[in-house]
Structure 1
Amino acid sequence: MDIEAQKKAAAEAALAYIEDGMKVGLGTGSTANYFIDALGEKVRAGLNVTCVPTSIASEERARALGIPLAALDDLPELDVTVDGADEIHPDGLVLIKGGGGALTREKIVAASSARMVVIADSTKLMTAETFGRFPLPVEILPFGAQATILKIRRVLDALGLSGELKIREKDGQPFITDNGGLIVDCHLGHIDQPAALAEALIAIPGVVEQGLFVGIATTALVATEEGVQTLNA
């Protein structure tokens, strides 16, 4: 299977975790889109679910497919969230997320769910030695952005991490999240202490959220050329 076929296979495998009457968190991104499309087919066939999207883009896609939606304030406890990942560390299913800029809402929704099922193609599964090659996204407030970035740099230095910090742009302008925040992409190359880094980053005033998901994912469905591999935390 090519990468797109792997994404679709992982997304369709996640349907096995969806039961009638469930409250489901909908992730954001290219792999999550395959799941939303597959779920839409099931809804049209009679499946009864109510879903909470993690971004405006996912909300619009789900609504167009006729999937019943609700706000997290109305459904504060969900049965499952299905979402993609930019990287998966096999030890404990630590994730890097936020390539699409929705990391804060994705984490809030996932943490409000009884379980989080991650769907991914084979390129997203890392080893302890390769985890962290994808730039780590950190959402920050626009106010005092440079002061916050300076504090992020000091945290990285204290943990022995180096690399370029760049404010994400889109069409030549700073990328703005659905929350009105900025994204700082931390090009670190490798992260060997994800839990310590996550804790240090979230403690910085001005940081809204960071893209390390530690202790949140419960299952990962990783599609390979041989089929879909199931990993449990």
Structure 2
Amino acid sequence: MADRNQAAESPEKKAAGIYAASLVKSGDAVGLGTGSTVAYTIRELGRRVREENLDIVGVVTSYQSEAIAIEAGVPLTTLAQTPKLTIAIDGTDQFDENLYAIKGGGAAHTREKIVSMSADRFVVVSDPAKKAKTLSIFVPIEVMPFGKELVMKSLKEIGGDPVLRAAAKKDGPVITDNGNFIIDCTFGEIKNPLEMAAKLSQIPGVVEHGIFMNVDEVVIGKADGTVEVIRK
């Protein structure tokens, strides 16, 4: 039976995802991100567990990743049980030449940031289209429903164009795994991600924003199955 969680195969994403799985060794506690590229990583880790007796535990960042990991046979734990992770692997929506990244297209960036900050090493898997000189796509922002109006007003005051993310198959907004809303806010080119991140974090009602400043390396998959690795 076809895996309902698996999208049409992308050679670039597959190359990046499988390479990232090769970085994991027995004894590691692994943060498992969310998205189509890291799904290849999770499935490859499951294969290694079955065929190579890889001894690992994983911490997932979403219900989607949990379902893929369980199906793949990756043993799971929690941050409560394993607060220190060896490596975290996740996807990205865009990253710049300084390895600052924007994440949250899948509305899981709050948990993704917590997991990535709990790891000694944070590896991002990507395809070439996600690379940019300057961050410029919308920034996903998880907000408490009670604070939505204040957050929208505050985002406009700092030059943003905020839009409440609507659900695709239900009336109303997207609800995160944490029970919150997502506001997608466009700022144009973000020439100073550190400054923008600080401004977003100071807005009352913001749970977490999608600007990541802790990426250690990016694995870019190519159509021919090779990868390019960029490190700080």
Could you tell me whether the CA contact under 8 Å between 1:44 and 1:66 is conserved in 2? yes
- 21-30 or 180-189, larger mean C-alpha shift: 180-189
The reply on whether 1:67 has 2:74 as its aligned counterpart is yes
Shift of 1:148: 1.6
Q: Deviations over 1:118-147 (max 9, x none)?
A: 10000011113xx21x21101100003111
- Using the alignment, how far apart are the partners of 1:3 and 1:15 within structure 2? 17
Could you say which residue in structure 2 is the equivalent of 1:168? Answer: 165
Aligned match of 1:230 = 229
Please, which runs of 5 or more residues in structure 2 have no aligned partner?
1-7
Question: Alignment partner for residue 84 of structure 1, among 82, 91, 112?
Answer: 91
Which of 138, 141, 148 is residue 141 of structure 2 equivalent to?
Answer: 138
Aligned residue for 1:74, secondary structure, equals coil
CA distance in 1, matches of 2:68, 2:19: 20
Q: Does residue 201 in structure 1 map to residue 204 in structure 2?
A: no
Worse-superposed segment, 218-227 or 109-118: 218-227
Q: AA paired with 1:217?
A: V
**SS class of match (1:229):** strand
Identity, in percent, stands at: 38
**1:185 corresponds to which residue?**
184
More displaced 10-residue stretch of structure 1: 169-178 or 223-232: 223-232
Taking only aligned residues, the RMSD between alpha carbons, in angstroms, comes to 1.4
**Aligned residues between the structures:** 221
Is contact 2:59–2:78 with CA below 8 Å preserved after alignment?
A: yes
Is residue 2:59 matched to residue 1:52? yes
> How many Å separate the matches in 2 of 1:8 and 1:94?
22
Name the amino acid aligned to 1:57: Q
Q: Give the TM-score of the pair, scaled to structure 2.
A: 0.91
Judge conservation of contact 1:3–1:121 (CA < 8 Å) in 2. Answer: no
Instruction: For residues 86-144 of structure 1, give each alpha carbon's deviation from its aligned partner in whole angstroms, at most 9, with x where no partner exists.
Output: 001121x100000000000000000000000110000011113xx21x21101100003
8 Å CA contact 1:220, 1:230 repeated in 2? yes
Q: Distance in 1 between matches of 2:197 and 2:215?
A: 15
The residue type equivalent to 1:184 in the other structure is I
Q: Which runs of 5+ in 1 are unaligned?
A: none
In structure 2, distance between residues paired with 1:37 and 1:232: 24
Deviation at 1:63, TM superposition (A): 1.0
Pairwise CA distance, 1:212: 0.2
Any runs of at least 4 consecutive aligned residues in structure 1 with deviations exceeding 2 A, and if so which?
A: 224-227
SS in 2 for 1:143: helix
